[in-house]
Amino acid sequence: MRTRLSVNVNKIATLRNARGGNIPNLIQVVKDCERFGAEGITVHPRPDGRHIRYQDVIDLKDVVTTEFNIEGYPSDSFLDLVMQVKPDQVTLVPDAPDALTSNNGWDTVTHLDYLAGIIKMLKKEGIRTSLFVNPEVKIIEGARMTGTDRIELYTENYAKLYPQNKQQAIMPYMIAARVAETQGLGVNAGHDLSLENLRYFSQNIPELFEVSIGHALISDALYLGLEKTIQSYLALLR
């Protein structure tokens, strides 16, 4: 199994929104990402619309030809949006409305019933579900009980520790991925994965289905160009 690359295009929308108008053109960037080899597109609309807006998600519905992954906190408005768009995958995150970025995973034990109800509704519509979680065994076991199809491992701690001790950094994620596989869960990962640390992560997590990368990838594209950047990330995964 080869790990797939989903490009998070939130930062493109952030840049566009900084000046208003439509530069850079989000739709064209998404088309180009796929043309350059991206195997999925990820968006994370937030209530304040500071980057990807709900209308962007609707506009992308008939544009994305690979895998469309929508991340977000399952508010009523978010759920109405994804039920309208029906993406390939919905990744549920426990962000507060004012969160700068996703910075923690679900407590799947405490929120088991809440998550199970939402996941049941999404799966009824044929939408694959993933839960954003920390690499903790009890949390992953709780995720299985919700009925989710996959988990997305929150990898910020890995990225922070990697420069000092990459073996120590990867260990909780290796354990978590093995547990997920025994629980029948697919494994995604994301947050602060980069050209520096991605190869080691993917080589040590053979269970890894998909990575979602935005901030680092778009930042690298400022120097390398978007096509070369996407090809560089794909090369690490191969």
Cα–Cα distance for residue pair 169/94, rounded to 1 Å: 23
Cα–Cα distance for residue pair 209/2, rounded to 1 Å: 7
Q: Is the pLDDT of residue 99 over 60?
A: no
Counting residues of the chain whose pLDDT is more than 70, the rounded percentage is 96
Catalytic-role residue among 34, 39, 44, 51: 44
Q: Is the pLDDT of residue 97 over 80?
A: no
Catalytic-role residue among 34, 51, 191, 207: 191
Provide the residue count of the chain: 238
Cα–Cα distance for residue pair 212/232, rounded to 1 Å: 15
Catalytic-role residue among 34, 39, 67, 71: 71
The question of whether 44 is a catalytic residue gets the answer yes
Cα–Cα distance for residue pair 215/134, rounded to 1 Å: 20
The region of weakest confidence among 97-101, 119-123, 150-154 is 97-101
The question of whether 215 is a catalytic residue gets the answer no
Distances (CA, A) of 122 to 29, 82, 88, 138, 218: 28, 9, 11, 24, 30
Task: Give the count of alpha carbons within 13 A of 151, CB side only.
Answer: 32
Please give the mean pLDDT across all residues of the chain. Answer: 95
In the prediction, which pLDDT does 167 show?
Answer: 98
The predicted model scores a pTM of 0.95
Q: What is the pLDDT of residues 143-187, one digit of tens each?
A: 999 999 999 999 999 999 999 999 999 999 999 999 999 999 999
More confident residue, 167 or 103: 167
